[in-house]
Chain A
């Protein structure tokens, strides 16, 4: 459990970060399809998806039992489960691991909720930094428009209602996302994000993403041995 040690795994870790509605999941999915169809060893993993921890997380959210600290810890537990049992073995086995959101999502959200940043950074220090972190920089109004356009039912924590930013969920969501956006911008250089213009067309973004990955990774090395 050494802090963010640089490890020479045969696999590679690629993370995407950005606001809700930034288009990152679409782009990551398309990247995955491309790599798969090239016959490469690739695996996609999402934030908040570990089975054991999921029950507790959703219970906590439903009953509004969570404080900033427990919110942060339960998500960190969930991530640790995925990291120890999924991401790490995949990296050791030489996979290209695609993460839809990574530790920076927690850094941004939890800092907005008031957790001290150094505490957060230390908390997640068991995880290595990705080889490539793509930050989908979508202007706030565009990202908000994509999410709020359909007047969806926003979940309590998703809208940031626990922070008492506003009594209207939509207004609360706007303020919350604005604060998260600021956190992302502040982390951009420190954590070496590669920026993608999230306001460009889907095709243009994907072209850019594929070019970047092809130039940074020796792709043929990840080919499956048997098909």
Chain B
């Protein structure tokens, strides 16, 4: 494997034997469902897997959750808080698992973090350098679902739209439905840009669960 940029002091990426598979997409894009299916599929084939995601580090997850509730962090601070959470999981979970030959399934990765930050005015180059610590995944699947479909799924599941997934902090609109649609469009535009730079595999998330799983399995075969 290799790092996106400068890497991590003391870690030789070439010695990592496992695979890193990332699934990106908005809330309601079917990420968790697909990761569950993929995990079953891989374990059925005899591969050992590990799940990681955002805001799950033992170091800062609680504090991040707390700060998120109050909406008190500045843009740069929040961005760095998430980066710290990511780095902690990268070093304490992802890298050890890869060393041991596991397949790491990441429910979101740095691309979500980058897209969110860029939409909020962060500097591209700064982010690229910051996430130079990240490993380049073996496969990145981006589940692209139309904003209208996302609203429907989110409302069916939670009955309200999440503050952050609606980008309410950006002040696009006081109306959460309106804000959600506009914010998700901005995020999707950013993902298209990131896809151009980093080369993801885009999967149409409006398809059925089975059709998406089939599509993902096909890509997985190519890398295993």
Contacts and interface: CB of A to CB of B under 8 A. Distances in A.
Interface in A69-89: 69-70, 73-74, 76-77, 80-81, 83-85
Interface in A155-192: none
A68 B81 CA distance: 16
B121 A1 contact: yes
Given A69-B87, A84-B75, A126-B76, 4 more contacts: A60-B59, A67-B91, A73-B84, A114-B10
Contact of B59 (A59, A84, A85): A59
A56 B73 CA distance: 15
A31 to B, nearest CB: 28
B16 to A, nearest CB: 16
State the main secondary structure of chain B at its contact with A. helix
Q: Which 8 A/B pairs are nearest by Cβ-Cβ distance?
A: A84-B74, A114-B9, A77-B80, A122-B129, A73-B84, A1-B123, A80-B77, A81-B77
Contacts of A113: 9
A115 interface: yes
A43 to B, nearest CB: 18
Interface of A: 1-3, 52-53, 55-56, 59-60, 65-70, 73-74, 76-77, 80-81, 83-85, 113-116, 118-119, 122-123, 125-126
A67 B75 CA distance: 24
B99 to A, nearest CB: 15
B209 to A, nearest CB: 37
B122 interface: yes
Contacts of A83: 74, 76
Interface string B58-89: 11101100110000111111001101100110
B74 A85 contact: yes
Chain B interface size, under 10 / 10 to 19 / 20 to 34 / 35 or more? 35 or more
Interface in B1-35: 5-6, 8-10
21 contacts: A1-B76, A52-B63, A52-B77, A53-B77, A56-B60, A56-B62, A60-B59, A60-B60, A65-B59, A66-B59, A69-B9, A69-B133, A70-B88, A73-B83, A74-B60, A77-B80, A116-B6, A119-B6, A119-B133, A122-B129, A126-B126
B126 A1 contact: yes
B81 A77 contact: yes
A69 B90 CA distance: 10
Nearest to A2: B123
B101 interface: no
Contacts of B132: 119
B91 A69 contact: yes
B92 interface: yes
Contacts of B129: 118-119, 122-123
